[in-house]
Every structure is written in structure tokens, then in C-alpha cells.
Structure 1
């Protein structure tokens, strides 16, 4: 039993109280860190019951841990899911989700504008295992998704707010495509966060996060999470998902018969148990601590990002600003629909002058940290073309709209005026370097 029912309570209240189970003996207010590999059985029979699944207590941290479970319950509540699974990283969340659904010969349809690590996983690693992926360039083009679906397709995958360009996914439209074909929609909501958008409310079936980012919030730990919406009928077409709806376990039941609405997550938990991408209970605790201030951080970060994006759009030497909160953004209407409380804090700015301008600008910054990460309390800057997207061909970068002058900004919690002053200093350094004149542009 939880300490108090959170049904009907607001987001800020639930991010503090959802999923709490107070220890009966000591009753600590903060969730304890159960930093232990295993858990003691009262007797011989309890050990058997834990492994047979007739006792829901804990046996081994790779299988489950009270600290991790508390974090799972909190995130599931905030995302509107029925349950969640915490794993070692955001990449582990994507891998575990996909592996729970596919076998050799199967197919995934994915938006092209996704995290580069996920794209490489789908394009390269899973291809070696016989699982192919078709990438849809226009992520909100329903017809393009429809055309990519094959008889062997097992899922659709996209991000609520892809980076680096702050595009907005039309979740309901793509969910409609998926469901017309009897397929689940998986949405990576790392940049959206459950505070700004909850994809399950718009038709998504499974949500994944890199909890290392906004959920933890302080750039200190790694973690990932899978949230099951409990809405997809896995047994509607049993032959499509035999691992869930046809194959029977030692108890004579399928996963759907055993777990009902939570069938997918039950199966994913067993995948994670065998592959072992388990987060430390210490990391789970720090993620849980971060979630307690999620709405406060994301609200401020989004507001500051909008102010900075508007300022950058007016500056000489800036070719483009990609932020859905701007009136000039082609995603403005979708942002108003899906992200009314803020459009996130990660966006792209493209400088005139290409790579040399981006280098001069980046090296002149003093408050922005040069590193690959997102959702930190500190503001960050990165040049995707030479870092995260360095393995892409020039033509691929151009097709994705990632030019040599594009920089990704992740806005933190510093004073907005200080961040603007830092950016202004960097723009002045570019102008002083006379890059455009030397390149024959100005």
C-alpha cells in the first residue's frame, strides 16, 4: 500500500508522493537506498516462492530492488502508465523494448530524426541480427508511415521532441497509423518529459526515457525507464506477438494470460533480467530525488529557452533558430497542441560561417559547458556534425537539416540574462574573427 493515494492530485504533488511505500519498522520519509545484491529468505519455502513467482518479495537486485521499484512506480504514475521498468541507461531502455517485440526477420518503422545512438542500434546492430528498419524522413507524414509498414513490421518508433532541432511529433496521428495496422507505437519522451507531454494520453502504447537527462536532472547518473501504457491488445493478433500471446510457460499460460494488461512489461522485465542492464539502487535513488523537482526545473528551463531562442533569432550572424515555441517555427501549431506548458529546453541554432563560426562561437563561451549531455541544470553546447552525428555522410546530414554551422543548446537553470550575455560574447567573437568576409560570404 502506498503512503497516500495520489489519484486526482496534481503533477507537482505526485512527483513528490506517488509510489511511496513507507518502511513498516523505521518509516523513513525519503526512500532508502537498498544497496544490496540479494535479499534474505525467511525459510526454504519462501525462497522457492520468490523464484516461482508466487511471492512478490525481492530475491536479487538484478531481478528487482525496493529502491528501483519505488522509482518505477513514481515514473509510471507521472506518465500515466500501469507500470514501469528501470534499466541502466536510456539506450538500454530502447534495446530492451525492441528486443521484447522482435525476432530475426522482423521489421521496425522509425522516424529518421531520433537520437543517433538509437538510429545506429536500429540501422546497424539489429540489422546484423536479422531485424530491419525503415526510416521515415517526414515524421508527421501519415502516408509515409503507412507506406513503410510491411507484414513483418512489429512496431513504430519515434521521439516526442527529437534533438537537435526541437521538432514536435504528431503523436495522435502516428498512433492512429500504428493502431490501424495492429501495431504498437513506442515514443521516446526524454526531451518531452512527463511534465510537458504524456504520449500515452495521445495514443502511444510504450514510452521510454533516458532518465539520465531531465528526470535525474543534475548530470550525475545514468538510467533508463520503460513505461507500459497497458492499452495495447497483444493477443488481438496472436501470431504477430507469439512470445506474448502464444508461447506458454511452465505454468501452462501465455504472458498475456498471466499478466493481462501488463503483459509487455512483464516480458520486458524478463528480457532485462537475462541481459542484465540493471541500474544501481544508488542511481535509482538519485533519479527519484531529481524527479521531485522535475516540474520546477523543466518549467524554468523551457521559459528561459524560449526567451533565448527569441533573442538569438534577432541577432546578426544567426542563420536560423529551430525552436517550436517561436512564431516562425513550422511546428508552432503542434507545440500549442502537445506542449502548452513549454516547448522544452533543447534546440538548435545555426550560425552563418559554418564549422569555423561554430568552433569560434563554442570556444568563446564561458557559462555554457562543452559536453554531450542534455537536461542538465547547467547549460550545455555541442556541435552535432563533428560529435554525435560524425558517422553520418554529408548528404545524410544535409537531409536531416544538420548543417556545419548548427549547434545544439541545452538550457539550464542559470539566470537568463547571464546566459544571453555569454551567447552575445560568443557572437561577438565570431564577428571579430571576420569569418564571413574571409569565406567570401559577406
Structure 2
């Protein structure tokens, strides 16, 4: 029997606790788990039996969350970790090696651009950034050392919608996995795997938890990629020296990536999600569809109002008929264009700073996807490490403010924006 999204967001991965009958998933606040005997321990370490060894690798609360996010995304399996940034490294880890590269969209979170342009160099990896609206440029950027293509479904900060089907076709032709960050959309608005994504990553910190309490990340594997089709992915297809020569794809099939990420990725990188954070995220996901509907409804109203304000140069919300990305919404995000967009002010950088400082309901924080409405001036904060050229390419120019619309009364949000714009000049 197949179930709808609203049912799955409450029930997937959650079963009454066998010991107590507790209906809500308990927080298993434990480091280790007692083995039945020596043979049981050996079977667990040999990956011949699924179970719990040590909470850096597996934990029942985290496992419930992994099953839920995998189910909602339509994936074969998932691994949860400590943050969205950790999820990106976890996604790349089994695919990459010194001298190898990825091709990524210029329209991405500033921290992602820094991570891919600077930090991954320390592993001997590199990244080529391309405008993903230029399909020929994406194709041209791929070479014999490329191992993945990376983009965001709804790009942070501008709310641009990526043509996932077109990018997936390029990835398929090249025999490469497509990794899609679905943080801004969530599986309620967008299902990247249905559009050809191999892996989906999330910052669970944002809409999935929805209340600004914890950080977390997830990598969901579609289970559809043939890791053995070429010699490009030896960690998954060939004997893995980090796990006594085990061939993960041959042994685990569609779950190869997930098992590798737990047995080696979490074991050696240690980017573990704590069970308390997993619990908060499970609670948040129970109301995901309800919140996303309200985020979209509010964002549409607020963006429409802002677009007609005399102090505003441009609003990037894809849900507006004036957006060049509006035609993609019905195809890629049929339930709406999300709650995230940017506003360019005619007064430039100084007006943006005054505007942010004058808001009262909106919280000035480096976060998005909260039930509360949030605002940040990206050029002076999250995208500060980038050059102005990179800021503009990422949709975070000096005269741009990022707005994450919450679930409050939209009239109150509009009134707050109105008074702040008046003070900004």
C-alpha cells in the first residue's frame, strides 16, 4: 500500500518502541550497544548483519530520521550527519580523490562556494563553477577527471529554480552522478530524484527541522546509479582498501553508497548527527507540508508587494509571473517556489544595511527556513569571503538582501517591511 506525503512525514521510520511501546521515537542517548556474543559482533563489523555498534556510525534515533528522509525523497537509503556542510563532504567523499574535480553551479550558498573553491583543494579536489542556465558551458566544463555535477534545486540566496531534467541529461551522457542540494525546496516542493538526481543533500537545519533549534545534514541515495559502469568510482565498484577489500556495489547493490557512507564516511570523518538533534528534526518533519504551504503562500504575497515598492529595484522570487524562472516552477517545484528570495534596493549597500537594522519582526540571522521570518545582507555576511564578481554571480550583489519568509501573518510582515524601507531611504 502506498501512502501520501502527509502520512509519510509523520510515520516513515517511526515505530512504537519495542521495549516500552512509546509512540514517539525515543532519544537513544547512548554511545555504544551490547553485542549478543562474539559472533554477533563479528557479523556487524563484517556488514553481514544490520545493527548498532557505536553511535558515531549508527543510532536508532538517527536511523529513524534516515529512513524518513529517504522515504520522503524517494531514495533507496540515507545517511545523516552533523550539518549541511558535512553532508556535502560526505556526498563527495566516496567519489573523489586527488586530482579529481566537480562541476558546480555559480548559483549556490556562499559557504558552499567557499567550501568548493577553497577547502576541498586541501584534499587535492577542485571545482569548476558554471552558470547552469548555460547548458553548453556545463557540458564543456566536464573532463576526464570530473566525478560529479552539483547544483541546488532552489538556489540560495536568490530562489532561482534549476532545470534539473536538463542538467541530469548532461550528467547521464557523461556517466556522472548529479548531486542536488534540496535544502531550500524540501521534498514537499521538489523531488530531485524524479528529475534524474543521483544523490540529494540537505541542511536539515533549515526547513526540514523548521524551528531553528539544531544543525544537521543528510545525503539521500537514489540507488539508481551504476557505480560499476566505468572505472571512475573505485571506492564503490572496486575492492575498498579501507574496508578489507569489500566491493560495496557488488555486495550491496542499490545501497552501496549508503553503506559506504556509514561504514567508512562516518567511521573516518566522524561527522556524526547527535540523537537529540535527530529527534528535533523528526518532530519538525511531522509538520513539513503544512509549514511549506504557508511559507509559499506568504512568500508569494510578500514578494508581490515588494515588487511594486518604489524603493525596490528587483525581487528574485520565482513564484512571480515576472520571474524568468517562473515557467520552471510548475515542472520542478509543482507545490510552489519556496519561501526564499532576494530583494535589490535602489539605494545600494548603505540602504541594505539600514533596512536590515530597521526591521522588527524579521530576525537578522545567518539562517533560513525557520518558522520565523529572517533577513540577512549576504554581501557583508554569508558571501563576504567572495569577490564582488562572485557575489553577483551567486545572486548576492552588494545591493541585495536575502529574505526567508516565515509562517507569521503576512500583513504583519508587509507592515514591518514597509516601515523599514521608509527608514532605509
- Is the structural similarity TM-score above 0.5? yes
Matches within 5 A, 1:110-129: 110-129=104-123
Q: Is structure 2 residue 200 aligned with structure 1 residue 217? A: no
Work out which of the residue numbers 186, 199, 206 in structure 2 matches 1:206.
Answer: 199
Would you say the 8 A contact 1:140–1:173 is kept in 2? no
Distance 1:399 1:198, change over 3 A: closer
2 CA distance for matches of 1:24 and 1:370? 44
Work out which of the residue numbers 237, 248, 252 in structure 2 matches 1:245.
Answer: 237
1:47 is matched with 41
Q: Is structure 2 residue 307 aligned with structure 1 residue 313? A: yes
Superposition deviation, residue 401 in structure 1? 4.2
Superposition deviation, residue 253 in structure 1? 4.4
Matches within 5 A, 1:370-385: 370-385=364-379
Kindly report the root-mean-square deviation, in angstroms, between the aligned alpha carbons of the 2 structures: 1.3
1:439 is matched with none
Superposition deviation, residue 23 in structure 1? 2.3
Q: Is structure 2 residue 162 aligned with structure 1 residue 158? A: no
User: Which runs of no fewer than 5 residues in structure 2 stay unpaired?
Assistant: none
Work out which of the residue numbers 148, 155, 158 in structure 1 matches 2:141.
Answer: 148
- Deviation readout 1:343-396 (Å, 9 max, x if unpaired): 100100111111111121111111000010010011000000100111122233
Larger Rg: 1
User: Which runs of no fewer than 5 residues in structure 1 stay unpaired?
Assistant: 1-6, 432-442
2 CA distance for matches of 1:32 and 1:365? 39
- Deviation readout 1:24-70 (Å, 9 max, x if unpaired): 23111100100000111223332222222233221111110000000
Superposition deviation, residue 338 in structure 1? 1.2
Distance 1:8 1:20, change over 3 A: same
1:235 is matched with 228
Matches within 5 A, 1:204-353: 204-237=197-230, 239-248=231-240, 253-269=246-262, 270-353=264-347
Would you say the 8 A contact 1:93–1:208 is kept in 2? yes
Bigger drift between 216-225 and 107-116 goes to 107-116
- Deviation readout 1:293-329 (Å, 9 max, x if unpaired): 0000011011100100000001111111000010110
SS in 1 for 2:118: helix
Normalising by structure 1, we get a TM-score of: 0.93
Bigger drift between 18-27 and 89-98 goes to 18-27
Normalising by structure 2, we get a TM-score of: 0.97
2 CA distance for matches of 1:129 and 1:229? 26
1:30 is matched with 24
Matches within 5 A, 1:341-420: 341-420=335-414
Would you say the 8 A contact 1:140–1:174 is kept in 2? no
Would you say the 8 A contact 2:106–2:393 is kept in 1? no
Aligned residues between the structures: 423
SS in 2 for 1:316: coil
Distance 1:17 1:126, change over 3 A: same
2 CA distance for matches of 1:411 and 1:263? 38
2 CA distance for matches of 1:296 and 1:399? 33
1 CA distance for matches of 2:90 and 2:299? 32
Superposition deviation, residue 251 in structure 1? 6.9
Distance 1:175 1:211, change over 3 A: same
1 CA distance for matches of 2:397 and 2:19? 59
Distance 1:266 1:44, change over 3 A: closer
1 CA distance for matches of 2:36 and 2:395? 60
Superposition deviation, residue 285 in structure 1? 0.5
2 CA distance for matches of 1:356 and 1:119? 25
2 CA distance for matches of 1:95 and 1:110? 14
Would you say the 8 A contact 2:343–2:400 is kept in 1? yes
1:434 is matched with none
Whose relative contact order is higher, 1 or 2, with alpha carbons under 8 Å and at least 6 apart?
Answer: 2
